[in-house]
Amino acid sequence: MSIALDPALCSGCGRCVEVCPGGLLALGPDGRARNLSPGECWNCAACVKDCPCGALSLYLAPQIGGGGATMRAARLGAVLRWEIIFPDGRSRFIRVDSSRPDGY
Amino acid sequence: MRTVAVDTDILILGGGAAGCYAALSAAARPGMRIMIAEKAHISRSGCLAAGINAINAHIGRGHCPDDYVDYAEKDAAGIARGDLLASMAGRLNKTVRTLEKLGLVVHKDADGRYAERGWRNVRVNGENIKPLLAAAVQKRDQVRVLNRVNIVSILIDDGRAIGAVGFGTTEAVCYVLRAAAIICATGGAAGLYSPNSPGFAGHCMWYPPFNTGAGYAMGILAGAEMTTLEMRFVALRCKGSIAPTGTLAQGLGAAQINSRGENYENRYGTMTAQRVYGTLRENLEGRGPCRLHAGNLTRPQVEDIYRAYLNMAPAQTLKWLEEEQKDRGEREEGGERGGWQEGKGRDEGSCFLAAEIEGTEPYLVGGHAACGYWVDSRRATTVPGLFAAGDAAGGCPQKYASGAMAEAEIAAEAALEYALEHPLGRCRALSASGAAVAEARGFLLRREEKGKVPFEAGQLEEAMQQAMDRYAGGISAAYRFNEAQLAVAAERIGEITFLSGSLGARDMRGLLRIHELRERLVVCRSLIAHLGARRETRWPGFAEHTDYPGADEAWRLHVNSRLQDGRIRVMFRDLVGRREVYEHRA
Ligand SMILES: Cc1cc2nc3c(=O)[nH]c(=O)nc-3n(C[C@H](O)[C@H](O)[C@H](O)COP(=O)(O)OP(=O)(O)OC[C@H]3O[C@@H](n4cnc5c(N)ncnc54)[C@H](O)[C@@H]3O)c2cc1C
């Protein structure tokens, strides 16, 4: 369900097709990624994290309380930088450095 | 459809946590050829796709493996194999050290020791745990990985497992894989019951919807003995996102609170099933919704939690951020929202973080509960040549990621020995594969035939899930069932199985869907038999047999089953102690 794909940003590298644990993504005839079955997504965000172009973002379905915000990720070395975009256009970033043990 | 035949020494079905680790362990022996057949791609497949933020099975300072066995036996209300728990627990810490060597970042305290979260838990930055494992596997020349191959059947020749048949999920290829020893590591079963949120969000579930119980089904059909399927696992999770709650509960000591603000945990007990049961009762008795509530947090603590969830269940962080944004928006507008709400607290300085919690639909997961293949102490199933590890293997609950891998190492050692002692001679792999191949061809050809059923696999899947939900103790039945209801469930599953034989597939993806449906149906049939066979209620919260409420000491035994001449034969087996060695008797 919860992956939004922006074809304009997709470079057709196929990384998302490889990592989806459900095999739900494929490259279309135009060489860009497409979602074969949006309703079968597990929400794991593997594709979102591995997309080098920021073409994929996660959102919460309205059925599970989603309010329309989307979340995409960019990998900068060991840092995964998440960008959350709210429906009113505001956004915020959260960085997770996987090399540095963060306490919580 | 092309047929490709491949020979190997050790064939591993499923390249998840257990499958990848089994391959690494087996590759320690030079000269052995190892093959993983994985339906997705090992880089992110299985339970670990999203990552983890704690290793849930580790023996902390001041404790020993026996303590872990005690804990797991108690949590399973006594129905667990001591021998299996002890051998797994003895290898947990070594497994975590190996993972650290592969690149997993384990949190440390000021003295450089593992940062523990309670005595069984260590904190990790595990977002990348699966890619790390996959990269280690790919570095081994001895290991060949077949990605995008869905295994549907185990080949048996003269009573021995000699290989498996699979179909490409994208390419029209049939694989006939021959091996001297086989390790089943296909995980557990999701999608047997209607999920929390049916429809478009139907796959927002805890257990991976792509783990369909294929390994259980193949084993059942191959005549393997299965155990304790009636011990289903119901997870207590954050509503909507179905994200794990451990980070809040164990990490921050968050309390389970009902709508009246009362902490209800101690009323029901703190074992895994009791926590689910308590939440269920509170809701049934009109005191819902229930929440997990962590108070008095600093803003940096909240930010840390957001990051922790991003490392394993990003949807939950998104949910909190949306709530926080909404809250902030309303404050800016000067509005007041009354009562108790989720998200960040209002007062400056101190925040709280809360999440509504609910029980999921029941899953079969041998890494959390005790269901799965009945194995001997070395993880050999009752089918010679076939071994099992991880969520597919029964008798050994509370494995989690590290335990699944520890068990995979044990299974790999046994499989190696078996393969060396029983090299594969001439065998009838191709002819043994005939039935599975003919059946698949039938599904693909039927598309053009007249007289096929007008249904799609997805519709029959929904029918199966609803029958299980209502008559075999799903969410809408509050996890309760009785004998009369189980009889209805069995009949419905029989009818749907019959109908599924006439489905048609447009392409390999369609074929995959039909196989997934049919393996779930096989698992449902055995599950129903097990639910009826245990005439007591041992794990309220996971399952409640309303004809037999309450636990009964006479049922301190394993309920096992085997498919024989087309019928499910139920049998009972004694518990096995932690110092015993269990071997199958012919
Ligand atoms: C959401 C979630 C969060 C978790 N978090 C934690 C945690 O924080 N800490 C912790 O210690 N444990 C955690 N666990 C538990 C841990 O992930 C599992 O115990 C462990 O991954 C089980 O390993 P497995 O190999 O049996 O199953 P998996 O890792 O799921 O592997 C099964 C593999 O088999 C493949 N497969 C399935 N069917 C077929 C088929 N027919 N043919 C070919 N391949 C097939 C699947 O694609 C998959 O790759 C979590 C589990 C889940 C579901």
Tell me how many domains chain B contains.
3
Residue B338 pLDDT exceeds 80 = no
> Is the CB of B98 within 6 Å of ligand 1?
no
Find the residue in A nearest to B40 (Cα): A21
* B97 within domain boundaries: no
Mutate to test the pocket of ligand 1, among B35, B47, B117 (most ligand atoms within 8 A of CB): B47
Out of B43, B208, B321, the one facing A18 most closely (by C-beta) is B43
ipTM of the complex: 0.95
Burial class (CB in 10 A: 0-12, 13-18, 19+), A81: middle
Residue A96 pLDDT exceeds 50 = yes
Per-residue pLDDT, averaged over B404-428, amounts to 93
| Residue B252 pLDDT level (bands cut at 50, 70, 90) | confident
> Is the CB of B169 within 6 Å of ligand 1?
no
* B440 within domain boundaries: yes
Which chain A residues contact residue B43 at CB under 8 A?
18-19
Ligand 1 atom at shortest distance from the alpha carbon of B403: 19
The pLDDT of residue B428 = 75
CA angle B470, B77, B56 (to 5 degrees): 90
Residue B116 pLDDT exceeds 60 = yes
Per-residue pLDDT, averaged over B149-177, amounts to 96
- 3-state SS, one letter per residue, for B262-280: CECHHHHCCCHHHHHHHHH
Domain CATH for B182: 3.50.50.60
Q: Is A69 on the interface with B (CB under 8 A)?
A: yes
Q: Are residues B461 and B569 in the same domain?
A: yes
CB pairs under 8 A between A and B: 168
Q: How many helices (H) and strands (E) does chain A have?
A: 2, 7
> Is the CB of B518 within 6 Å of ligand 1?
no
Q: Is A57 on the interface with B (CB under 8 A)?
A: no
Q: Are residues B329 and B387 in the same domain?
A: no
Q: Is A84 on the interface with B (CB under 8 A)?
A: yes
Residue B335 pLDDT exceeds 70 = no
For residue B515, the one-letter residue type is H
Ligand 1 atom at shortest distance from the alpha carbon of B212: 38
| Six-digit token string for B542 | 């996971």
Please name the residue that has the structure tokens 């030079």.
B30
User: Given B412, B430, B448, which residue is the final one in a domain?
Assistant: B430
The pLDDT of residue B114 = 93
Q: Are residues B197 and B242 in the same domain?
A: no
* B98 within domain boundaries: no
> Among A48-57, B276-285, B449-458, which is the least confidently predicted range?
B449-458
Residue B331 pLDDT exceeds 50 = yes
> Among B184-188, B403-407, B450-454, which is the least confidently predicted range?
B450-454
Question: Are B44 and A19 within 8 A, CB to CB?
Answer: yes
* B581 within domain boundaries: no
Q: Are residues B36 and B166 in the same domain?
A: yes
Per-residue pLDDT, averaged over B321-348, amounts to 59
Region of residue A9 (phi > 0: left; psi between -120 and 50: alpha; otherwise: beta): alpha
> Is the CB of B405 within 6 Å of ligand 1?
no
For residue B134, the one-letter residue type is A
User: Given B370, B403, B430, which residue is the final one in a domain?
Assistant: B430
Q: Which of B333-347, B430-444, B476-490 is predicted most confidently?
A: B476-490
The pLDDT of residue B186 = 98
Q: Are B169 and B148 in contact (CB under 8 A)?
A: yes
User: Given B329, B359, B389, which residue is the final one in a domain?
Assistant: B359
For residue B171, the one-letter residue type is E
| Residue B334 pLDDT level (bands cut at 50, 70, 90) | low
Q: Chain-wide mean pLDDT for chain B?
A: 93
The highest-level CATH class for domain A2-97 is alpha beta
Residue B99 pLDDT exceeds 50 = yes
Mutate to test the pocket of ligand 1, among B210, B238, B400, B519 (most ligand atoms within 8 A of CB): B400
% of chain B residues with pLDDT over 70:
96
Residue B448 pLDDT exceeds 80 = no
Distance from C-alpha of B148 to C-alpha of B166, rounded to nearest angstrom: 10
Domain ranges for chain A: 2-97
Domain CATH for B315: 3.90.700.10
Per-residue pLDDT, averaged over B300-324, amounts to 90
Distance from C-alpha of B120 to C-alpha of A83, rounded to nearest angstrom: 34
Q: Are residues B230 and B241 in the same domain?
A: no
Residue B524 pLDDT exceeds 50 = yes
Find the residue in A nearest to B103 (Cα): A99
Q: How far is CA B11 from CA B20, B101, B175, in A?
A: 12, 25, 13
pLDDT tens string B202-211 = 999 999 999 9
Residue B348 pLDDT exceeds 60 = no
Distance from C-alpha of B551 to C-alpha of B548, rounded to nearest angstrom: 8
| Six-digit token string for A31 | 């060489």
Q: Are residues B243 and B220 in the same domain?
A: no
Of B138, B147, B126, the closest CA to residue B50 belongs to B126
Terminal C-alpha separation, chain B: 40
State how far Cα B355 lies from the chain centre.
24
| Residue B380 pLDDT level (bands cut at 50, 70, 90) | very high
* B116 within domain boundaries: no
Is the bond into B244 cis (omega within 30 degrees of 0)? Answer: no
Q: How many CB atoms are located within 10 Å of the residue A37 CB?
A: 16
Domain CATH for B506: 1.20.58.100
Find the residue in A nearest to B112 (Cα): A101
Find the residue in B nearest to A67 (Cα): B322
Residue B347 pLDDT exceeds 80 = no
Question: Are B204 and A58 within 8 A, CB to CB?
Answer: no
* B416 within domain boundaries: yes
Per-residue pLDDT, averaged over B253-277, amounts to 91
Domain span at B541: 435-573
Residue B339 pLDDT exceeds 70 = no
Strand partners, B568: B563
pLDDT tens string B11-36 = 999 999 999 999 999 999 999 999 99
The pLDDT of residue B435 = 87
Residue B293 pLDDT exceeds 50 = yes
Which chain A residues contact residue B310 at CB under 8 A?
80, 82, 94, 96
% of chain A residues with pLDDT over 90:
81
Residue B413 pLDDT exceeds 90 = yes
Distance from C-alpha of B24 to C-alpha of B32, rounded to nearest angstrom: 12
Q: Are residues B169 and B252 in the same domain?
A: no
| Residue B407 pLDDT level (bands cut at 50, 70, 90) | very high
Can you list the positions of beta strands (E) in B375-460? 386-388
Q: Are residues B477 and B552 in the same domain?
A: yes
Specify the pTM: 0.96
